[in-house]
Amino acid sequence: MTTVGAMGEVPPGKLPVLVTYMEMARRPETPERPVPDGVAGPVLARRCTLAYYRFLYDTIGEPWLWEIRRRMDQTELARILADPEVEVHVIHVDGMPAGFVELDWRLLPADGTVAINYLGLMTWAIGRGLGAWLLDWTVHRAWERPRVRRLTINTCSFDHPAALPLYLRAGFRRLRQDRKVVDDPRRTGVLPQTAGPHIPLAAPVPAATSPLGQTIPPQIGDPPRRPMAFRP
């Protein structure tokens, strides 16, 4: 059985997603926006621990099906976080972490690229103008370094609908859009079924059957199915 969505038919357990890759190749001329009232930060989480990062990523990302950093090798993730060229900047509202941006300078020496790997707010902090300000702060900070030629960011159709128009207004342009079919992380067990309530759950994957027609239960040690990556 296949699921039919706006982007066509996909097999059981799968979801269609549209990924938009964007870049900003010119430094903005607008002055930096002031920090909104009641906001502290951004604060650089220096040598961000895996636990703190996963708290931010999981809490912010779960409603939007962010899953890549959940399912990737956690030793590898810790290695990325320990790299001083990957910066996690956290904003606080009323003393609580309210959002973060992850700036990745690792490509800067090679080709002048600064990647905004993630930008997101806690659900309770969405819709107050903090996203527009945090993006503006990020863009200004990124262009401060010498030899920056371009900033990149991407967003997908699972993300908040304000993201793409926000990036366009900030001066990013679409580089390309890819239609992908990915495993539904709520079917692979990477995310709970309550995640991403705005995205219809993929059709269940039928249990595997042997050539003799017997149902084969999953074996302990079966490798987890790996969704296709669409974020760095």
Strand partners, 176: 21
Applying CB under 6 A, among 13, 16, 41, 131 the residue interacting with ligand COA is: 131
Residue 202 found at the interface with ligand COA (CB under 6 A):
no
Nearest distance, CB of residue 63 and ligand COA, angstroms: 7
Q: Of the two residues 41 and 120, which places its CB atom closer to ligand COA in the complex?
A: 120
Residue 16 found at the interface with ligand COA (CB under 6 A):
no
Note the helical H segments in 6-125: 50-61, 68-71, 74-82, 108-111
Applying CB under 6 A, among 129, 204, 206, 224 the residue interacting with ligand COA is: 129
Nearest distance, CB of residue 207 and ligand COA, angstroms: 34
Q: Are residues 21 and 154 in contact, defined by beta-carbon separation less than 8 angstroms?
A: yes
Residue 175 found at the interface with ligand COA (CB under 6 A):
no
User: Which stretch, 46-54, 73-81, 159-167, 216-224, contacts ligand COA (CB under 6 A)?
Assistant: 159-167
Nearest distance, CB of residue 139 and ligand COA, angstroms: 13
161, 195, 91, 23 alpha-carbon torsion, rounded to 10°? -40
Cα dist. 84→30, 76, 108 in Å?
28, 15, 13
Q: Of the two residues 121 and 190, which places its CB atom closer to ligand COA in the complex?
A: 121
Applying CB under 6 A, among 72, 82, 96, 162 the residue interacting with ligand COA is: 162
Count of residues touching ligand COA (by CB under 6 A): 19
Q: Is residue 42 reached through a cis peptide bond, with omega within 30 degrees of 0 on the bond before it? A: yes
Strand partners, 182: 15
CA-CA distance, 66 to 196, in Å (whole number)?
9
Q: What angle do CA 184, 187, 192 make, to 5 degrees?
A: 100
Nearest distance, CB of residue 50 and ligand COA, angstroms: 21
Q: Are residues 98 and 111 in contact, defined by beta-carbon separation less than 8 angstroms?
A: no
Residue 199 found at the interface with ligand COA (CB under 6 A):
no
Nearest distance, CB of residue 9 and ligand COA, angstroms: 26
Applying CB under 6 A, among 33, 70, 106, 128 the residue interacting with ligand COA is: 128
Query: Is the Cα dihedral 43, 22, 59, 78 positive or negative?
Result: negative
Q: For residue 64, report the phi and psi dihedrals to the nearest 5 degrees.
A: -120, 15
Find the residue with minimal CB distance to ligand COA: 131
CA-CA distance, 64 to 15, in Å (whole number)?
13
Q: Of the two residues 172 and 186, which places its CB atom closer to ligand COA in the complex?
A: 172
**Residue in this structure with the two tokens 């107050």, named with its chain if needed:** 128
> What residues make contact with ligand COA under the rule CB under 6 A?
64, 119-121, 126-132, 155, 159-163, 165-166
